[in-house]
Amino acid sequence: MTLSLRPYQRAAIEALYDYFSASSGNPLVVMPTGTGKSLCIAGFTREAIAAYGDTRVLILTHVKELIQQNFMALLRAWPEAPAGIYSAGLSRRDIHAQILFAGIQSIHRHARQVQRCDLVLIDEAHLLGRGDSGMYRSFLAQLNEINAGLLKVVGFTATPYRLDSGMLHEGKDRLFTDIAFQVPVLEMIQQGYLCPVVPKQTSTQLDVGGVGTRGGEFIAKDLEAAVDRDEVTRAAVAEIVQHGEGRGSWLVFCSGVAHARHVRDAVREHGISAETVTGDTPGPERDGILAAFKAGRLRCVTNANVLTTGFDAPGTDLIALLRPTKSVGLYVQMVGRGTRLAEGKDDCLVLDFAGNTARHGPIDTVDGRKKEPAGDGEAPIKVCPECQTINHASARHCIECDHEFPPPVVKVAPQAASNALLSTQIQAAWCDVTGITYARHDKPGKPASLRVTYECGLARHSEWVCFEHTGFPRDKAVGWWRRRAGNLPPPVTVDEALAQLDQLRRPIAIQVRPAGQYTEIAAARFV
């Protein structure tokens, strides 16, 4: 049976084939929340068994909802799949299934029962901690020993950095060795696969000035004590209610169990249905609350540290951040709960009472390598007087209502610190192109690409066009070519492209946007 995969999903699977043909490490596949990691896992598993019939695959994750979701994604695509589940929460222990979807909490002591295994796929791989301790590390070490060191491990995640700090594939204690495939959240929004997120200015802001840090994150007990104040909670909830008018599904991230309950009670005082989910919520009660929320029967759910990963409620159209964090991964995961597409949903409103957007910057340019998040000072922003949407200080028009701002009177710092949730909400700059050079770019173990360098006065900006790649990168290259060559057939190789450069239209200007420490070419203008 052939799976129906989107171009970037096909590209992710092809990238894994390319990786394993040239390398022997443990790669990561990085795909934003809502872009279908479950389908990629299903496709890769199906094709691995089609190629080698006795391949045994173990798919690990941490919550029963994801186990069930990944299992059902495979069965929808391959109803006769030899698959089973090992999870105490789902009351199943199909330990001998050829394809086994398992919860790490249930299976971590049973490597000897699992025995032979060729491939381990880990969903939500960012939850793996540092060092050799922990359930994942000990279980994988035993399984690898049983399988004579031949075990292959692939991690799937929306955020390739640990929840405390550091990239998953960097450092001496890493389990994962490389990123085999990554697709940016901004690209997925621009392609229409994800829903835009829009930040609004909030008058209420949580004060964490006296809260200490441990392990790269605010100390939980001190954080809750600092923010769980009745007058602050009531003020924040009043703003949520005001901005949430006309929006049907509100998800609120809180700083602790008691805080989540207090926020819930304050929401209820406005006559709005609200419930709370925490780690202490009994399973049946939690399932009932989340089912009602997804079905639209419950308008608001407050939570403390349980709905940041693995929670799928596409209709969520308002997210309130009442949970300050120094964790880049946690910040991106919380905002990512609102990026899924749903019928009747145009965007997701994000109300950040916690200062996370100013602390970390846009979710598509955050840097997981930073030990301490930047942005402790005041971010260069301005608030639209018409709709109260947060804009970067360089914006000429409001990203939400197109209100025209007066000309700037101060120089904006070039670093993209912001209260913008996407880098497109930071004003891109047009640069006149004074020259263009083209060159073949070869990277070991990867198909060649065409490097295009634009000279803009003394500045240089580059982009890479991947004609020889497959799937999504190839589709992007074809689009790039057609904008410049009209009906001329897109080349198959870089050398073929280089031979036809004289037939390309050359842009007179390019639009350049900050992207972390680099720049991104967002658009081109032709004569």
Domain ranges of the chain: 7-183, 190-425, 431-526
Q: Is the pLDDT of residue 403 over 90?
A: no
Q: Where are the beta strands (DSSP E) in 92-194?
A: 92-93, 99-103, 119-123, 152-157, 178-182
Residue 119, SS3 per DSSP: strand
Q: Give the whole-angstrom CA distance, residue 297 versus residue 281.
A: 19
Radius of gyration of the chain (CA): 24
Query: Cα separations (Å) of 28 from 18, 423, 478?
Result: 13, 24, 26
Q: What are phi and psi of 466, to 5 degrees?
A: -105, 70
Pairing of strands 99-103, 57-61: parallel
Q: Is the pLDDT of residue 370 over 60?
A: no
Q: What are phi and psi of 159, to 5 degrees?
A: -135, 105
Residue 322 DSSP one-character state: -
pTM for the whole structure = 0.74
- Classify burial at 351, counting beta carbons within 10 Å of its beta carbon; exposed 0-12, middle 13-18, buried 19 or more: buried
Q: Find where tokens 């955050």 sit.
A: 366
470-497 b/e with 16+ CB inside 10 Å = b?
Answer: bbbbbbbbbebbeebbeeeeebeebeeb
Q: Are the beta carbons of 395 and 427 closer than 8 angstroms?
A: yes
Q: Is the pLDDT of residue 2 over 70?
A: no
Write down the architecture of domain 7-183 according to CATH.
3-Layer(aba) Sandwich (3.40)
Residue 27, SS3 per DSSP: strand
Domains 7-183 and 190-425 fall in the same CATH topology: yes
Q: Is the pLDDT of residue 381 over 60?
A: no
Write out pLDDT tens, residues 122-167: 999 988 765 545 889 899 999 999 999 999 999 999 988 876 657 8
Q: What is the dihedral of CA 326, 328, 329, 330, to 10 degrees?
A: 40
Average pLDDT over residues 249-258: 97
Q: Are the beta carbons of 259 and 322 closer than 8 angstroms?
A: yes
Q: Is the pLDDT of residue 527 over 80?
A: no
Q: What is the Cβ-side half-sphere exposure of residue 217, based on CA atoms within 13 angstroms?
A: 19
Write out pLDDT tens, residues 406-464: 754 333 233 333 467 877 676 668 889 999 999 999 988 889 999 999 998 878 889 99
pLDDT for res 377: 39
Residues comprising the chain, all counted: 527
Q: Find where tokens 């406005």 sit.
A: 270
Q: What percentage of the chain exceeds 70 in pLDDT? A: 87
Neighbours of 355 (CB within 10 A): 20
Q: What are phi and psi of 335, to 5 degrees?
A: -65, -35
Q: Give the whole-angstrom CA distance, residue 527 versus residue 329.
A: 43
Q: Is the pLDDT of residue 4 over 80?
A: yes
Q: Comparing 298 with 405, which gets the higher pLDDT?
A: 298
Query: Cα separations (Å) of 344 from 146, 248, 289, 401?
Result: 51, 11, 22, 19
Q: Give the whole-angstrom CA distance, residue 15 versus residue 182.
A: 9
Which residues, other chains included, contact 98 with Cβ-Cβ below 8 Å and sequence gap of 6+? Answer: 49, 55, 56, 57, 82, 83
pLDDT for res 91: 94
pLDDT for res 418: 47
The CA-based diameter of the chain, rounded to the nearest angstrom, is 70
Average pLDDT, the chain: 87
Domain at 190-425, CATH class: alpha beta
Q: Are the beta carbons of 35 and 193 closer than 8 angstroms?
A: yes
| End-to-end CA, the chain | 48
